[in-house]
């Protein structure tokens, strides 16, 4: 895996996840998007190896009310086509079943005390405990 797109509208959480991934996996290209529109532009420019997707996203502009339907719609598009992109949903909403039904490879709750470990595991990265 050489590139990840992190789609998250909370700026502090977005910076934390992007920095943690870059520290854990030197050389990994970590791109970010704060809206579904920014994510679509990034995906069109160069598809990543994987996407970490928050569900509640604004469609066009930061500051718009976020919607779970926007995230689910983006998730469905990511999983369509001949080469679906590995997509891990990371959300504070209790929407695990909806996410998995829409095609998510895994669901990680933002409120988990082990959120980073679970995210790394879902992406298939080795973790401190040795799990792949």
pLDDT at position 130 is: 45
Residue 57 inside a domain? The answer is yes
Full domain range(s) for residue 17? 3-123
Q: Regarding predicted confidence, which is higher, 63 or 23?
A: 23
Residue 129 inside a domain? The answer is no
pLDDT at position 40 is: 93
d(CA 14, CA 93): 16
Residue 12 has pLDDT above 70, yes or no: yes
Residue 129 has pLDDT above 80, yes or no: no
Q: Once rounded to an integer, what is the mean pLDDT over residues 93-113? A: 88
Sign of CA dihedral 6, 124, 111, 79: positive
Residue 117 inside a domain? The answer is yes
d(CA 8, CA 117): 18
Residue 87 inside a domain? The answer is yes
Residue 98 inside a domain? The answer is yes
CATH number at residue 19: 3.40.50.2300
What's the number of domains the chain is made of?
A: 1
Residue 42 has pLDDT above 90, yes or no: yes
Please, what is the angle between helix 11-24 and helix 115-123, to 10°? 60
Distances from the Cα of 17 to the Cα of 10, 68, 73, 118, 123, angstroms? 11, 20, 22, 12, 13
Residue 131 has pLDDT above 70, yes or no: no
Predicted confidence band at 127 (pLDDT cuts at 50, 70, 90)?
A: low
Mean pLDDT estimate for the chain: 88
What pTM was computed for the model?
0.89
Residue 46 inside a domain? The answer is yes
pLDDT at position 132 is: 38
Residue 130 inside a domain? The answer is no
Residue 100 inside a domain? The answer is yes
């Amino acid at each position: 895996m050489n590139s990840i797109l992190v789609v998250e509208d909370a700026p502090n959480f977005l910076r934390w996840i992007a920095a943690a991934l870059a520290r854990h996996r030197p050389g990994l290209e970590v791109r970010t998007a704060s809206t579904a529109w920014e994510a679509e532009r990034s995906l069109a420019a160069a598809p990543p190896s994987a996407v970490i997707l928050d569900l509640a996203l604004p469609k066009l502009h930061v500051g718009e009310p976020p919607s779970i339907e926007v995230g689910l719609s983006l998730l469905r598009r990511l999983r369509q086509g001949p080469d679906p992109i590995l997509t891990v949903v990371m959300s504070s909403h209790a929407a695990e079943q909806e996410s998995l039904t829409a095609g998510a490879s895994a669901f990680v709750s933002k409120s988990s005390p082990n959120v980073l470990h679970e995210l790394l595991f879902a992406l298939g990265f080795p973790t401190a405990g040795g799990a792949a």
